[in-house]
């Protein structure tokens, strides 16, 4: 549960590196195109190049590595679970069977599971880098500049706003249970899972109740969803930033071509 304390996505965005100073619109566009290119890669090791580049940029920008990797823990656990299931559910060529259970293990499933894992972790790394060096408000402002529907941008703004609040509430509930020995070594695993389920259920109820209150408060102030909460960025894109963005996009597409024709 200590990981939940680091889900505040609007922290650790200060810095003086060139990556911090790069126009947010360029960074958002490069991130979206990079993720699209990652999804198109067909070799499991190709997405790792994007992951290595993101790791290098984190070091270059002097962003906190501890926060960067902590934010990857939850996505990695979910992606790993999917990757583990793939060898048993996808493919036609059986290379082995699980003892006792006699579950078939497919060679295609192993390769596809690794490919899905590397794709997802690389895409998450790109987004993680984006929010690590760019304030969330700048990201939302950039999306509005790209003419994304106001309802989507406003919903994302509220989501990012309340992720930190809900994570704090979950941490408080966990500590309250722990103070009552709800997660001590003497407690069995089944009871611990039940306690975690209680936290999840209570958190969902509180989130729903808070969403209703926030929605009513916005409606009472005249919000209809027909106008933007953001003021569109009016300054022109710097030529140097535009050149860097074009270079990143060209390299990303080049990686896809190399993956298709060369690898």
pLDDT in tens, 204-221: 888 888 888 888 887 887
- Considering only CA atoms, which of 162, 11, 3 is closest in space to residue 69? 3
Q: Residue 227's pLDDT is what?
A: 54
Q: Residue 14's pLDDT is what?
A: 66
pLDDT tens per residue across span 68-78: 888 888 888 88
Q: Label residue 56 by pLDDT band (50, 70, 90).
A: very high
Q: What's the whole-number mean pLDDT along residues 244-249?
A: 92
Under a CB-based contact definition with an 8 Å cutoff, are residues 58 and 164 in contact? no
- Considering only CA atoms, which of 246, 243, 251 is closest in space to residue 50? 251
Q: Residue 3's pLDDT is what?
A: 39
Q: How far is CA 49 from CA 45, 90, 118, in A?
A: 7, 26, 10
Which pairs with CB-CB distance under 8 Å and at least 24 residues apart come from 47-52? 47/115, 47/118, 47/119, 47/121, 47/122, 47/123, 48/118, 48/122, 49/255, 50/122, 50/125, 50/126, 50/255, 51/118, 51/121, 51/122, 51/125
Q: Label residue 7 by pLDDT band (50, 70, 90).
A: very low
Q: Label residue 50 by pLDDT band (50, 70, 90).
A: very high
Q: Residue 11's pLDDT is what?
A: 53
Nearest-angstrom CA–CA distance, 84 and 211: 35
Question: Containing H/E element for 241?
Answer: helix 239-261
Percentage of residues in the chain having pLDDT higher than 70: 90
Side-chain half-sphere of 206: how many Cα atoms within 13 Å?
15
Residue 6 has pLDDT above 60, yes or no: no
Report the sign of the C-alpha dihedral through residues 218, 219, 221, 224, in that order: positive
Nearest-angstrom CA–CA distance, 121 and 256: 17
Q: Residue 2's pLDDT is what?
A: 43
Tell me the pLDDT of the chain averaged across its residues: 82
Count the helix, strand and coil residues of the chain and give each as a percent rounded to the nearest 5.
70, 5, 25
- What are the strands, taking DSSP E only, across the chain? 94-97, 104-106
Question: Containing H/E element for 183?
Answer: none
Residue 168 has pLDDT above 60, yes or no: yes
* Cβ-based neighbours of 99, under 8 Å, separated by 6 or more: none
102 or 201: which carries more pLDDT confidence?
201
Q: Give first-to-last CA distance, the chain, whole Å.
A: 41
Burial code (b: 16+ CB inside 10 Å, e: under 16) for 27-48 equals bbbbbbbbbebbebbeebebbb
Residue 58 has pLDDT above 80, yes or no: yes
């Amino acid at each position: 549960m200590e990981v939940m304390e680091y889900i505040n996505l609007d922290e650790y965005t200060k810095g003086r590196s060139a990556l911090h100073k790069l126009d947010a619109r360029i960074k958002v566009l490069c991130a979206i195109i990079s993720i699209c290119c990652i999804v198109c890669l067909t070799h499991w090791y190709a997405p790792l190049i994007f992951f290595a580049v993101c790791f290098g940029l984190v070091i270059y920008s002097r962003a906190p590595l501890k926060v960067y990797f902590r934010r990857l823990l939850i996505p990695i656990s979910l992606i790993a679970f999917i990757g583990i299931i793939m060898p048993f559910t996808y493919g036609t060529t059986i290379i082995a069977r699980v003892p006792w259970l006699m579950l078939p293990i497919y060679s295609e499933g192993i390769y596809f599971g690794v490919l899905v894992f590397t794709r997802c972790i690389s895409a998450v790394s790109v987004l993680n880098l984006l929010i690590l060096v760019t304030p969330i408000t700048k990201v939302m402002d950039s999306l509005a500049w790209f003419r994304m529907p106001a309802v989507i941008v406003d919903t994302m703004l509220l989501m990012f706003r309340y992720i930190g609040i809900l994570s704090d509430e979950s941490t408080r509930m966990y500590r309250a249970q722990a103070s009552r020995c709800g997660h001590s070594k003497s407690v069995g695993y089944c009871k611990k899972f039940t306690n975690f389920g209680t936290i999840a259920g209570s958190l969902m109820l509180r989130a729903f109740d808070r969403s209703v209150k926030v929605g009513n408060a916005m409606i009472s102030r005249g919000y209809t969803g027909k106008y933007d909460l953001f003021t569109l960025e009016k300054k022109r894109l710097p030529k140097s930033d535009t050149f860097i963005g074009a270079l990143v996009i060209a390299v990303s597409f080049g990686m896809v071509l190399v993956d298709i024709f060369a690898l």
